Amino acid sequence: MKLCTFISYEGTECVGLVKDNKIYRLSGYKDMIDLIQKYNPDKIERDLKEAYNSFSFEEVTFMAPVTNPRKLIFIGLNYRDHIKESNSTVPEFPVLFAKFSNSLIGNNQNVIIPRVVNKCDFEAELAFVVGKTAKNVDIDNAMEYVFGYTICNDVSARDLQFRVSQWLSGKAIDTFAPMGPVIVTADEIKDPHNLDISCRINGELRQKSNTRELIFNIPYLISYISKIMTLEPGDIISTGTPQGVILGAKDQVWLREGDVCEIEIKNIGVLRNVFINEK
C-alpha cells in the first residue's frame, strides 16, 4: 500500500491511501502513527470500498508521511563513494545524528534557506519507518520491525555543519527534512537493498546510485540502534546518501532561491521541493 498524510481543500489533516492516481481519506485514525499501530490491510481495503472522499493530487497539500515521529534519526557516511568525496574514512560503526519535527515538510512544500546559511546542500536518501516497538533486536529478525519506506532529503547547511565537530546546527534546521510523498508498505518492496536512487537539481542529474551500496544495511541499523535506544512505531531512520552532493563537487555552486530538487527512488516515487530564501 501507498499511504500518505495530507491536508485537503477543506483544511483538515488526514491520512490517506494512494491508489489509481487518487487519494482516499482513511477514517478512524488520528494520524499516521495511529494507523501504523492499528495497521490492518484487509480492513483498509474493506473501508476503501465504502470511502466517499477521494481527492486528486492537485486538490491536496502533502505533508511528511509521519508528521510527529518520536525519533528522526539519520545515518551519516553510509555510502563508500560519498565517504570518498567527503574526504572521510569508513566508520567502524554507524554515524548517527538527529533532526526534529520542525525540519519535516512534505512533497511540493518549500525548503526555506535561512539568512545565516550560505552553503545549502542536498542529500537523496532512502528512509524507513518503524512499525513496532524494537529493543535489543537481533539482525536476523530486524526486518520484521520495518513498516515501510519513503524518500528523504537530508538538506544540509555545510557552513554550519562543520563549524564544530557535532553536526546538529547544520542539519536540524526548519524545513531541512523534506519527506514523502508516500510510505510504501514493506510488503511491496521486495528488496530495499536493490533500489535505484537519483537526484536532479533543475532537471540536471546530480546523484545516481543504488541502495546495494549501503555500508550498514537496514537490519544492521535496526539492531544497532535498538541496542542504544528503544525504537517506536512511526520512528524514521534515513539511511544515508550516495555520491554527488555539492560538498564533493569541484565547482561548488550551492542551492539558492528557485532551485528545484527532485529525488526519485524506484518503486516509491518522486519527492519534489523548491528552495526559497528566508524572508
Express each pLDDT in 208-244 by its tens digit: 999 999 999 999 999 999 999 999 999 999 999 999 9
Q: Which fold has domain 72-277?
A: Fumarylacetoacetate hydrolase; domain 2 (3.90.850)
Residue 52 has pLDDT above 80, yes or no: no
Amino acid 81: pLDDT:
85
Amino acid 64: pLDDT:
99
At 245, the pLDDT band (50, 70, 90 cuts) reads: very high
Amino acid 84: pLDDT:
84
With cell 520491525, the residue in question is 145
Peptide bond into 91 cis (omega under 30): no
Region 254-260 average pLDDT: 99
The answer to whether residues 96 and 213 touch, using CB atoms and an 8 Å cutoff, is no
Region 27-38 average pLDDT: 96
Whole-model pTM: value is 0.96
Residue 201 has pLDDT above 90, yes or no: yes
- 3-state secondary structure (DSSP) of residue 103: helix
Amino acid 243: pLDDT:
96
Amino acid 99: pLDDT:
99
Query: Which of 26-40, 82-96, 192-206, 252-266 is least confident?
Result: 82-96
At 188, the pLDDT band (50, 70, 90 cuts) reads: very high
Which DSSP letter does residue 212 get? G
User: Burial, 120: exposed, middle or buried (Cβ in 10 Å; 0-12, 13-18, 19+)?
Assistant: buried
Q: What are phi and psi of 37, to 5 degrees?
A: -70, -30
Q: What are phi and psi of 139, to 5 degrees?
A: -55, -40
- Which helix (H) or strand (E) covers residue 49, if one does? helix 41-50
CA 22-104-100 angle, to 5 degrees, is: 145
- 3-state secondary structure (DSSP) of residue 255: coil
pLDDT digits (tens, 9 = 90+) for 82-140: 888 888 889 999 999 999 999 999 999 999 999 999 999 999 999 999 999 999 999 99
Determine how β-strand 120-121 pairs with β-strand 204-210. unpaired
Region 179-197 average pLDDT: 98
Arithmetic mean of pLDDT over the chain:
96
Q: How far, in Å, CA of 74 to CA of 275, rounded?
A: 21
Amino acid 48: pLDDT:
84
Can you read off the three cell numbers belonging to residue 212?
546495494
Domain parsing of the chain, residue ranges: 2-62, 72-277
Q: Which of 267, 279, 264, 266 is nearest to 107 (CA)?
A: 264
Amino acid 32: pLDDT:
99
User: What is the maximum span of the chain, computed from C-alpha positions, in angstroms?
Assistant: 56
